[in-house]
Structure 1
Amino acid sequence: MTSVRFLPEAKDEFVEAAKFYERREEGLGDRFLDELENCLERITSQPSLGNVVTRALRRRILRKFPFSVIYAHEEKSIVVVAVAHTSRKPGYWKSRKES
């Protein structure tokens, strides 16, 4: 089974987004996290279906929220580089490196 790892910045992004949605409406933060989990399941089952954004990175768009998951497909894992709002500056995450 393919594992999923998050860069620290990507984890911060999805946690902040979930908090934002929960403040707007009770339960909406959980729905955001559920949608993110569904997207990650699609990525792990078919990682090559994401849109190519750089030589090493792909993107899948969440179906119900304006966010994209930017990820690298490594041999036995998926590395999430960003959970990016679609209105944020494109490519802001390109300088991120694994620690």
Structure 2
Amino acid sequence: MSSYKIKVFPEALDDIQKATDWYNEQSYGLGTRFQKQVVQQINKLNKTAEVYTVRYSNVRCMVIKKFPFMIHFLIEDEIVVIFAIFHTSRNPKIWDKLLKQK
């Protein structure tokens, strides 16, 4: 199994921050738990990225445990590129269009 470097797009960092803020508004500390879970799972991707199947346009998705969010990422050579983290109810075609523009 390969070991990958991790690259996180600024848009994905914004997604994390928005969700963290929202969860903290719902319940004190919940946003912090969300953020810790996301970071923990991102850190695992450097060894497990290939385990996740391609969902659309070469994009793989990892469900965030205990939260209804998914990490959307690509594998490019030896780099895992995380470009979005959003709620499972959102349409991934939004990001599909943006990826094609980059």
TM-score, normalised with respect to structure 1: 0.86
8 Å contact from structure 2 (residues 57, 96) kept in 1? no
* Secondary structure class of the residue paired with 2:73: strand
1:7 maps to 2:3: no
1:23 maps to 2:15: no
* Secondary structure class of the residue paired with 1:88: coil
- For 1:37-76, list aligned pairs within 5 A: 37-76=39-78
Alpha-carbon offset, residue 65 of structure 1: 0.3
* Distance in 1 between residues matched to 2:52 and 2:23, nearest whole Å: 25
Alpha-carbon offset, residue 55 of structure 1: 4.4
* Distance in 2 between residues matched to 1:85 and 1:56, nearest whole Å: 19
TM-score, normalised with respect to structure 2: 0.84
Name the count of aligned residue pairs.
Answer: 99
Question: Which structure dedicates a bigger proportion of its chain to helix?
Answer: 2
Once the two structures are superposed, residues 18-42 of structure 1 have per-residue CA deviations (whole angstroms, 9 ceiling, x without a partner) of 1111111111111001110121122
Alpha-carbon offset, residue 58 of structure 1: 0.5
8 Å contact from structure 1 (residues 50, 58) kept in 2? yes
Alpha-carbon offset, residue 54 of structure 1: 2.5
* Distance in 2 between residues matched to 1:50 and 1:35, nearest whole Å: 18
Alpha-carbon offset, residue 11 of structure 1: 1.7
* Secondary structure class of the residue paired with 1:82: strand
What stretches of structure 1 of length at least 5 have no aligned partner? none
* Secondary structure class of the residue paired with 1:4: strand
